[in-house]
Amino acid sequence: MVHIARLLDEGGLPTDDEFLFGWDPTPGIVSIWADRSGKALLWRREGQRVTCSTEHFRPWIVATTLDDLAHLPSPVLPAPSDRGAQATITYRELDGPDGSYRYLLSARDGHLLERVLVAGASRRLGREVNRVSNLPETYYGVGPVEQYLMLTGKVCFKGLAYDDLHRLAFDLETTALDPQRGRIFLAAIHDSTGFETLLEAATPEQEAQLIADLCALIREHDPDVIENYNLCGFDFPFLQYRAAALKVPLRLGRAGGPPLLDSYEEAGSAGPYRFRQRRFSIAGREVIDTLEAVRRYDFAARVLPSYRLKEVAKHFGLAAPDRVYLEGSKVYETYREHPDLVRHYALDDVREVDGLSRRLMGAAFALAGMAPRGYGRVASAGPAMGILEPLLVRAYLRAGTALPQPITPDASWRHEGGATYLLAEGVAEHVVKADVASLYPSLMRTYQIGPKCDALGMLLHLLDRLTELRLFHKAAARQAPPGSMEANQHEGTQAAMKTINAAYGYMGAGTMALFADPQAADTVTRRGRELLDGLLAALRQRGVVPIEADTDGVYFAVPATWTQQEERTLVAQIGARLPTGTRLEYEGRYRAMLSHAIKNYALLTYDGELIVRGGALRSSRSEPFGERFLRQALLAVMQDDIAGVQRCFLDTVQMLRQRMLPASEVASRVRLSKTPQDYLASRTTHSEGQYEALLAAGRTQWTVGERVRTYRTQSGAWRWLPEEREEAPLSFEEQDDNEVLVNGNVLGLAETTPIDERRDYDVEQYARVLLTSYASRLAVAFTAEDFQQLFRVDGQMSLFDRPLEAMQLRWIRCPATTSLTPLSLLDEEKGHEQPNKSADAGSSPS
C-alpha cells in the first residue's frame, strides 16, 4: 500500500492538489453531457465564445471479481491491459486485497458491458439479475458524466469566475397552479448580461407560440445555466405538460447535443427517508433551482421564517424598492385588467432569482471545480455521498488502488453519539456560551481518525486540504472589499469547504458509504465526549459553573463582576489547553438563563431579548394569555423579580376572574377538517367543540381547512369567536421587547385589550390552564414551598406565608472569589495535549 504522503508532491499550493482539483488543465468547461455509449460532449467557454467538442471514453465499472466474465467465448475474453482500446471488454487490476473492488472493467460501450455482466451474474447466481446496480456487493459504478470526469481528471470551471458564467432565468406566469386546469400566459426572462424580455399569450391560442418562442430565445441567447425559483418543482413540470399537450417540442439543448429537455424520475432511499424527485436535464446547460439553494442555506443558517421567493429576497436585501407584490391566485385576473403590473411583477421575480444565484451559488460553483460531477449535480448533491465519495473514488482510481471491500454490518454494534449534560437547574446570571469550532473534523485531523479501509489515507488528506483552503479563503474574503465579486468568490469557496463537516457522518454511514467505518466514527464521538468532559473539568477548575453542555458547546455562569473581555480571556485560556487542532470559540454572553431541563432553557440577552429553546417551555395549547404570561414571567424570573412573577400571575388570574381579558385571549385556534355533512353524520356519537361552536352560532356552512377560534364558556359549551376585521392582534414579541426596554416592570395587558365584548369564558378552567400548562414551567426556579405559595389560583393568603423578601430563587451562582489566573501562570501547562480525562463532569449525565 502506498500512503498518500508518498504520492503527493508536498509543499505546493493547495490548488496543485490533483486529488482535490483533478489533474487535467482543460479550462473553461461549463457543461458536460455523456451517455453509456462512451460519448462525452464538452462545452467550453473562452470569453464570449462557447465551443462544443465530442470526446470518447471507455465506460467502466469496478468489480470485486471477474467471475461474471468467465462465460465469455475466447475472442471476447478480456485481457489484463489497457492496450487495444478497441477490445470489446478489458480489465485492469488495481492494487488491493481479495474482496476489494480490484478489477476496473471497461468496454467500448457501457450497455454492452452491463449486458455481459448481467448475463454472467444471472448464470453465476442461478437467478435473474436485471441490473448490476442490484449487486452492490460485487459492482460499484457511477453515472456516465462522473465516469468521464473521474477517468480524465477534468473538472468544471477551471479559470472561470462566477460572473463569467452566462446564466438565464425564466419565470412562467400561469392561470392556475395545475397545468391540467391552467395555461401559460406570460414568461419573463432575465439573464446575467442584463438582457430582459417578456413573452405573452393573451389568448389560449397563443400559448403554443409562446412556448416555441421561449425555446428559440433560450437557444439564441445560449446560456450555460438555466435558473429559476422552484424551477424543478413548478416551471419545468408545467412547461413540460403544456408543451406535450400542445405538441410543441421543448428544444432547449445546446448545439452539438441532443436537443430536447429531458426528465426522469429519480427514486432513492436515504436511510429512513424515501424520496422521488423529478430531475430535468438539458444537454449543454446546467439546471439550477434556487429554491434548493435557499433550503441548503437555511439548513445551517436557520434564519428564514418562510421560503417564499418574496420573503427570501427581502431577507437578502434583493427586493427592489418598487417591487410589485401580487397574491398568487390574483395574478391572472390582475393581468387582464392591469397587464403592466403583472409584467413588472414577473420581471421582479427573475431579477430576484438572479440576485439569489449570485448570493448563494458560490459554494456549488467552487465545489464543481473540484468534484468529478457536473455543476447542476453538485448543486443538488449532499456533501458526503455527493462530494466526498466521488472525490475519494477518483483519487483511488488515479492512484491505481482498489476501492475497499464493502463492510458487513455488525448488528451488535451500538454507536454512541455526543455527550449531553444538564449540570445545573435554576436561574443563572452572567452566562457565557462557548463551543468548539468544527469539533468532529478537528478531532479526525488531530487524532488522525480516518476509515481503516482508506488505505491511502485520502479522507484525512482531503480534510487537511479543505481546512487549509477554508482558512485561506475566509481570510481573503475578509480582506476583499465587502460585496465585491472577489469577496463573493472567496466567501463561496470558504462555504464550500464546510463539506468537511460531512466527513464524520460519512464514516458512520454504515453500509451505504464505500469508505464507511463505524468504529472510526465511534472513536470520533468518544474523543468528542472526552474533550467535552475535559472542557467542563477545566471550567470547574477555574471556578466558573457549567450549566448545560451538548456535544461541542457549553453554557456556564461567570462572576457578576466580569467584563466581556475577561470572559473572552477565560475562553481563550481554556481553549489553549484543548488538543492542538481544536479551537474553542466564544459564542456569546447572556444576562441570565433559566435552566429548565435538558435542551430546554430560556436566555435573556443584554439587549433585553428573550430567547426560549426547547419544546418543554412551550405549551401546545398556546392560548394567547398563557403564552404572554409565560414570556413575562420568564423575563421577571431572569431579572430576579419574584414580586414581579407573582404579580404577573395574580394579575392574570384576576383579569380572568374579573373578565378583563377578552375571549380572544383564552381561545385556541383550530383548523377544521370535516365538512358540514361529515360532522353532522358523526355528531351524535362524537361531538366536537369547534363544530358545535359554529353550529351554535348559526353557521351551518364552512370549508375544510378554515381556521376558527373557539373557547369554553361558563356553561361548558363551546363558543365560536369570529375573526375581527383587520383588527390585527398586537405582535406579542414586539410588545414584550418594548416592555423590557422601557422598564424592568412587565405587564400591561389591559391597555392592549382589543375591543371585544365577549367575556363569557369558563374562568376556573382557564385559571387551571394557567397553572398547569404555563406556571408549572417555572417550577425549576423556586423551592416547592415557594412555588406553591406564589402560584395559588385562589389568590388567598395564608397565615404561614413567607414574605416575598425572604424568598430566594434557586440560583446557579458562581463564587465571587473566582478570578482569572494570569496567563503567565498558565504557560507552564502548555503542551498539555490531552484533554483532562479525570473529569468528574459526567456526574449527572442524562
Partner DNA sequence: AACGGACGGGG
Partner DNA sequence: GTGTACGTCCGTT
- The DSSP string of 101-164 is B-EEEEES-HHHHHHHHHHHHHHHHTS----GGG-TTTEE---HHHHHHHHH---TTTT--GGG
> Hey, which residues between 706 and 725 contact DNA (CB under 7 A)?
707
Pick from 101, 140, 162, 229 the residue near DNA by CB under 7 A.
Answer: 229
Residue 306 binds DNA, judged by CB under 7 A: yes
Pick from 460, 557, 672, 812 the residue near DNA by CB under 7 A.
Answer: 672
Pick from 9, 84, 205, 275 the residue near DNA by CB under 7 A.
Answer: 275
Residue with cell 434556487: 290
Interface mask toward DNA for 152-181; x: CB under 7 A: -------------------xxxxxxx----
Nearer to DNA, 160 or 612 (CB): 612
**Nearest approach, Cβ of 802 to DNA (angstroms)?**
31
Nearer to DNA, 175 or 639 (CB): 175
Stretch that binds DNA, among 62-70, 272-280, 444-452, 636-644 (CB under 7 A): 272-280
Residue 307 binds DNA, judged by CB under 7 A: yes
Pick from 332, 720, 761, 766 the residue near DNA by CB under 7 A.
Answer: 332
Which of 708, 661, 664, 662 is closest to 689 using CA atoms?
708
Nearer to DNA, 241 or 586 (CB): 241
Which of 521, 556, 519 is closest to 536 using CA atoms?
556
**Nearest approach, Cβ of 249 to DNA (angstroms)?**
23
Residue 613 binds DNA, judged by CB under 7 A: no
Q: Which three cell numbers stand for residue 451?
A: 476509515
In the chain, what is the greatest distance between 2 CA atoms, to the nearest angstrom?
A: 106
Query: CA-to-CA distance for 341 and 335, rounded, in angstroms?
Result: 7
Residue 273 binds DNA, judged by CB under 7 A: yes
Query: Site size for DNA, by CB under 7 A?
Result: 63
Name 590's bridge partners.
Answer: 431
337 Cβ neighbours under 8 A, 6+ residues apart = none
Nearer to DNA, 2 or 177 (CB): 177
> Hey, which residues between 337 and 396 contact DNA (CB under 7 A)?
349, 380-386, 389
Which of 172, 206, 207 is closest to 187 using CA atoms?
172
Pick from 230, 281, 632, 710 the residue near DNA by CB under 7 A.
Answer: 230
**Nearest approach, Cβ of 366 to DNA (angstroms)?**
17
323 Cβ neighbours under 8 A, 6+ residues apart = 310, 313, 348
Pick from 134, 673, 738, 788 the residue near DNA by CB under 7 A.
Answer: 673
Contact 230, 237 (CB under 8 A): no
Give SS3 for 325.
Answer: coil
**Nearest approach, Cβ of 279 to DNA (angstroms)?**
10
Query: CA-to-CA distance for 239 and 215, rounded, in angstroms?
Result: 11
Residue 299 binds DNA, judged by CB under 7 A: yes
**Burial grade of 329 (CB within 10 A; 0-12, 13-18, 19 or more):** exposed
Interface mask toward DNA for 231-260; x: CB under 7 A: --xx--------------------------
Nearer to DNA, 658 or 682 (CB): 682
Pick from 123, 308, 343, 498 the residue near DNA by CB under 7 A.
Answer: 308
Residue 558 binds DNA, judged by CB under 7 A: no
Q: What are phi and psi of 16, to 5 degrees?
A: -80, -10
Which of 684, 654, 614, 607 is closest to 749 using CA atoms?
654
Stretch that binds DNA, among 270-278, 464-472, 748-756, 800-808 (CB under 7 A): 270-278
Residues in the chain: 846
Interface mask toward DNA for 401-430; x: CB under 7 A: --------------x-xx------------
Other CB atoms within a 10 A radius of the CB of residue 293 amount to 23
Contact 398, 92 (CB under 8 A): no
Query: CA-to-CA distance for 792 and 443, rounded, in angstroms?
Result: 52
Nearer to DNA, 58 or 529 (CB): 529
Nearer to DNA, 227 or 641 (CB): 227
Contact 282, 262 (CB under 8 A): yes
Interface mask toward DNA for 563-602; x: CB under 7 A: ----------------------------------------
Which of 310, 182, 166 is closest to 237 using CA atoms?
182
**Burial grade of 741 (CB within 10 A; 0-12, 13-18, 19 or more):** exposed
**Nearest approach, Cβ of 329 to DNA (angstroms)?**
3
686 Cβ neighbours under 8 A, 6+ residues apart = none
**Nearest approach, Cβ of 619 to DNA (angstroms)?**
9
**Nearest approach, Cβ of 311 to DNA (angstroms)?**
7
Contact 579, 531 (CB under 8 A): yes
**Nearest approach, Cβ of 245 to DNA (angstroms)?**
17
Contact 372, 390 (CB under 8 A): yes
Query: CA-to-CA distance for 608 and 611, rounded, in angstroms?
Result: 10
Nearer to DNA, 183 or 254 (CB): 183
Nearer to DNA, 468 or 688 (CB): 688
Give SS3 for 61.
Answer: strand
Pick from 506, 515, 629, 691 the residue near DNA by CB under 7 A.
Answer: 506
Q: Which three cell numbers stand for residue 745?
A: 416592570
**Nearest approach, Cβ of 791 to DNA (angstroms)?**
18
Nearer to DNA, 81 or 511 (CB): 511
524 Cβ neighbours under 8 A, 6+ residues apart = 440, 443, 444, 449, 504, 507
**Nearest approach, Cβ of 177 to DNA (angstroms)?**
5
Pick from 86, 269, 479, 700 the residue near DNA by CB under 7 A.
Answer: 269
Residue 146 binds DNA, judged by CB under 7 A: no
Query: CA-to-CA distance for 379 and 165, rounded, in angstroms?
Result: 15
Q: Between vectors from CA 612 to CA 608 and to CA 616, what angle results, nearest 5°?
A: 150
Nearer to DNA, 25 or 328 (CB): 328
Nearer to DNA, 345 or 562 (CB): 345
**Nearest approach, Cβ of 55 to DNA (angstroms)?**
24
Pick from 239, 291, 371, 554 the residue near DNA by CB under 7 A.
Answer: 291
Stretch that binds DNA, among 63-71, 229-237, 593-601, 645-653 (CB under 7 A): 229-237
Pick from 513, 557, 633, 790 the residue near DNA by CB under 7 A.
Answer: 513
Residue 265 binds DNA, judged by CB under 7 A: no
Enumerate binding residues for DNA (CB under 7 A): 171-177, 229-230, 233-234, 268-271, 273, 275, 277, 291, 295, 299, 306-310, 327-329, 331-332, 349, 380-386, 389, 415, 417-418, 502, 504-506, 508-513, 521, 525, 615, 620, 670-673, 704, 707
